Structure 1
Amino acid sequence: MEKGKIIRVKDIEVTVYKKRIKNLHLNVLPPDGKVRVSVPEGVSDEVVKLLVIKKYHWIKKHIKSFQEQERQTKREYVSGESHYFKGRRYILRIEFAKRPKIEVKNKKYIYFYVPAHYTIQQRQNYYEKWLRKELKKELEILVPKWEKIIGVKINEIRIKKMKTKWGSCNPDAKRLWLNLELIKKPTEYLEYVIVHELIHLLEKKHNGRFKELMSKYLPKWKIYRRQLNEFIL
């Protein structure tokens, strides 16, 4: 795993990664607004500091946005909460029942039937179990589709909650990890992450060849990447 150097610019902590690239790339990452800068190997810390100072107000704006979203995403799983599913916003409706069950109705409501004694943690566990099941259904369709298009084959797909990534790939083991949160996003973003990780079976690095392959199989991939990274993780 790559290691970055941490520098401070005013009140901002910046992690700097030196790579074999031509340009500087600055990102404010979800979920808590960490600042990451990727730079060519010969670039000095002073150049990085000047870049951060130039973008200071933009960075602070995005950090604040992520922090506010983080507070809004805390859930108690009670009626009236907004929950996203496959890119659509739903209102949660809690109904008490002997056994837990979840149903999506009228493209507007998610009905969550729960035993009256369930705690918030139990509700969350069951809800995330349901999300995982729904994501698996999507992957059973989309992964074979893109394996055929790209001409690759994976051995295993795993789902987990990730704090800083939408997905990852182990090219040697041919194993994909996908973020559970993807089931909440529009399908085209899920497809983008699948294609991104499958391409790593052909090219491990994010180099020119990788980008060419992404553009070949998913011409709008840069748009999807930018839009997806605007979401809170």
Structure 2
Amino acid sequence: MPSDLRRKKTLGTTSSQRLIGGILVEITKRYRQKNLYVRVRSPEGKVIVSAPSHFPDERINSYVLQKLPLIKAAQQRMRMDFLHTYREYISGETHYLWGKPYTLEVVTEGRRYHIQKESSKLKFTVPHGATRTSKERAFNAWYRQELNSVLSEITRSIEEKMRLYAHEYRIKNMKTRWGTCNIDKKRIWVNLQLAKKPIECLVFIITHELAHLVEKKHNERFHALVERYYPNWREAKEILNAPPFVTSF
């Protein structure tokens, strides 16, 4: 039986934690939300439900129980993925840029962080006393720079082909989405982690989010639009579903 462990309420939003099928689920109900979503967050496998405020608990419980096999499978993948992708940023590790693996070579000297890309390795210069957290921050800044270096050209090309135009593109390190689209503001966010994936994954995500400017839902019209302008979207989606995972139901 599902059981509430904690509940708190803010303006227009109610949050609680509940055991459903033996799994701890974090549930957030929002007044303006229209649909029910279940997400499994990487890397810890945390289960998060967001639902409209008028949805009864029984409906949420039933939906989560229905998705329980998928949730458990995703959690297992994430546990295995975490073992393989956790990084200490030390020499010998493998790091990815645009789908290509590079061997990391760490050099301790100077006062600044610097990453130099060579044929098959990344030379990572760090100051004395650098921590794992500070090295990760430097790496994320480098990934952001790499993503920014291609984003304008790619988005311009796709926009001209689709004749759909966003007002703004931003980069954010997201846990559960490869991209999001604010339809009203025509603002598209892309996940920083896309810099680790092949470039076609970025093309797919931009195409996907631009399609939302004319079709909010993932219905037949939406999928036909994505299919028209990026026929290889299935292959790109399969690559995105390889480690590291970002899973939604």
Q: What is the TM-score of this pair, normalised by structure 2?
A: 0.74
- 2:188 matched to which residue of 1? 176
Distance of 1:196 and 1:62 partners within structure 2:
23
Aligned equivalent of 1:200: 212
Distance 1:45 1:29 in 2: 18
Instruction: Give the C-alpha shift of residue 202 in structure 1.
Output: 1.7
Aligned residues: 225
Equivalent residue number for residue 203 of structure 2: 191
User: 1:154, 1:44 → 2: CA distance?
Assistant: 36
SS of match in other structure, 1:64 = helix
Q: CA deviation digits over 1:35-64, x for unaligned, max 9? A: 6899xx9x96787477446x4xx6534321
Q: Specify the SS of the correspondent of 1:206.
A: coil
State the Cα distance separating 1:9 from its structure 2 match.
5.0
Contact kept, 8 Å, 1:9 with 1:52, in 2: the verdict is no
**Alignment partner for residue 148 of structure 2, among 133, 136, 154?**
136
Task: Provide the rounded CA distance (Å) in 1 between the counterparts of 2:130 and 2:64.
Answer: 50
**Unpaired segments of 5 or more residues in structure 2?**
1-12
SS in 1 for 2:106: strand
Match of 1:78 among 90, 98, 103: 90
CA distance in 1, matches of 2:19, 2:170: 36
* Greater mean alpha carbon deviation, residues 26-35 or residues 192-201: 26-35
Alignment of 1:158-177 (within 5 A): 158-177=170-189
Partner of 1:60: 72
Residue correspondence of structure 1 range 75-154 to structure 2 within 5 A: 75-98=87-110, 99-106=112-119, 108-154=120-166
Judge conservation of contact 2:211–2:222 (CA < 8 Å) in 1: yes
TM-score, structure 1 as length reference: 0.79
Question: What RMSD in Å do the two structures reach over aligned CA positions?
Answer: 3.5
- Deviation of 1:69 (Å): 1.6
Amino acid in the other structure paired with 1:77: Y
The whole-number CA distance in structure 2 between the counterparts of 1:156 and 1:45 is 35
Distance in 1, matches of 2:184 and 2:170, equals: 15
Identity of aligned residues (%): 36
The equivalent residue for 2:9 is none
Mapped partners of 1:44, 1:132: distance in 2: 41
- Report the secondary structure of 1:133's partner residue: helix
SS at match of 2:130: coil
For 2:131 and 2:46, the matched residues in 1 are separated by 32
Q: 1:119 to 1:9 in 2, by over 3 A?
A: closer
Aligned-pair CA distance for 1:31: 3.6
Letter in 2 for 1:103: Q
- Tell me the SS of whatever aligns to 1:78: coil
SS at match of 2:243: coil
Inter-partner Cα distance in structure 2 for 1:170 and 1:228? 22
- Where 1:227 maps in the other structure, the secondary structure is helix
Q: Which residue of 1 aligns with 2:8?
A: none
Corresponding letter in the other structure for 2:137: N
Contact between 1:166 and 1:179, CA under 8 Å: does it hold in 2? yes
The amino acid of 2:117's aligned partner reads: V
